[in-house]
Amino acid sequence: MLVKNGEYEGLVEGYGTDGEGIIKINGTTVFVPFCVTGERVLIKALKVKGNIAYGKLLKVLTPSYARVKPVCPVFGKCGGCDLQHMDYDAQLKFKKDGVLNSLNKIGGIYAAVNETVPCEKQFGYRNKLVLPVGENGELGFYARHSHRIVETQSCAIQAEWAEKVFAAVKNFAATAERGVIRHIVVRELQGRHIFALVVKKAINAAPLISSLGEYFKDFTFLLNINDGDTNVIFDDKWRILRGDGFFEAEQNGIKYKAGAMTFLQVNDVMREKLYSAVLNEAEESSAAIDLYSGGGMLTAMLAKKCGRAYGIEIVEEASRCADELKTANGLDKKMFNICGAVEDNVGKVFSETEGMRRIIVCDPPRKGMERSVVKAIAASGADKVILVSCNPATLARDLGILLGTLVEEGGELKKCAEPESRYVLKSVTPFDMFPQSKWCETLAVLTRK
């Protein structure tokens, strides 16, 4: 039995879902961050509960060939990255194995998982910077599971331009009223930049805009006033101080507008790969049904290729953006946006498309799909179902219901030894959208039997 604050040696046998090492010591399974499989390590037990414990890495006694020196000086303190201590091949394997284990253990699905699609840029890939500013002007990122700012002057996974933002905001915050600045949020869009300074009350941001102008030529600047006691970054009070507040761009032949609140994947290269993979599965002269469709980017791409596409999205602002996207791209007769909960509208769309060749695309939030939606998809008879997920656990659950390996009994899901389903699993492919972190996007494709 392990005791709290005790020091122990052990062998790292595998990984937990957060990338922490799994070590078995005296019948206790210990989860310790920043370890690599195969290493012998010295750890300190921080919390012990029965046969489960959580520890801190004190020393690597026998390092793995896959261990590398982290690039970032605050790695392990900042909550942004999880895997900088692993080489990139080990990171890709960790993500593939994480998807495979979730399918097995949660979904009861025993199928091959393709190799993780790598990102050519393991660092400097992010097109979006969200930088909290402390009461005393300190600048950095939050520590894991807290709102304590870990100060830094750069970030290895941000694009190079981020260092210029750090410097400009640091100087501006030093002269601004204490505690007024909350965040600076920056989005790069094809070489142009959207800045949003979040403050508790209106301030003179001209010095910051002037400073940024020394480094950035084509940019727009907005002031967001958020005086609420909340963790939500933006409030609804906006002022445009430079430019139009948005930029126009184009992807896969679709023109769109993006502002400070527009959702776009943070990795341009991997977003292109993921969307292209989805479109490769779509067929012409079919009806595409895009569930949890957001601002309509993928819906528009599907409408252009398939000839007809429906998007269902509950967020009003996102649905309005989808309508603007539809008109701007001449898709009024091909793209149909519905604002509302997916579970309340999916049946109507399925009925309307009955008899057509159909492809269903689902990109739900991290919690996955509502069970009623998964059941409706399973019963729809659609020719193909594509799931895009940032959470292997909820992906495995939803796939299990679709494939019949999970069945509901008394309100609970249980594994089924003899599954029955209209669908077969064609492929499962992780995409490394977020190098150096534990997260990935996974694309799963099902076809009708």
Annotated active-site positions, please?
A: 390
The answer to whether residues 234 and 198 touch, using CB atoms and an 8 Å cutoff, is: yes
The DSSP letter of residue 71 is S
- For 146, counting Cβ atoms within 10 Å of its Cβ (0-12 exposed, 13-18 middle, 19+ buried), the class is exposed
DSSP string, 277-306: HHHHH--SSEEEEEES-TTSHHHHHHHHHH
Rounded to 5 degrees, what are φ and ψ at 107? -90, -10
The DSSP letter of residue 365 is -
The DSSP H or E segment spanning 93 is helix 88-105
Choose among 366, 193, 321, 187: nearest CA to 267.
187
The answer to whether residues 139 and 150 touch, using CB atoms and an 8 Å cutoff, is: no
For residues 101 and 186, what is the distance between their CA atoms, to the nearest angstrom?
36
For residues 180 and 163, what is the distance between their CA atoms, to the nearest angstrom?
22
Contacts of residue 283, defined as CB under 8 A and 6 or more positions apart, other chains included, come to 306, 357, 359, 383, 384
Only one residue has tokens 């159909």, namely 358
CA angle 283, 405, 16 (to 5 degrees): 95
CA distances from 378 to 346, 359, 361, 400, 413 (A): 12, 12, 13, 11, 15
Choose among 435, 409, 448: nearest CA to 119.
435
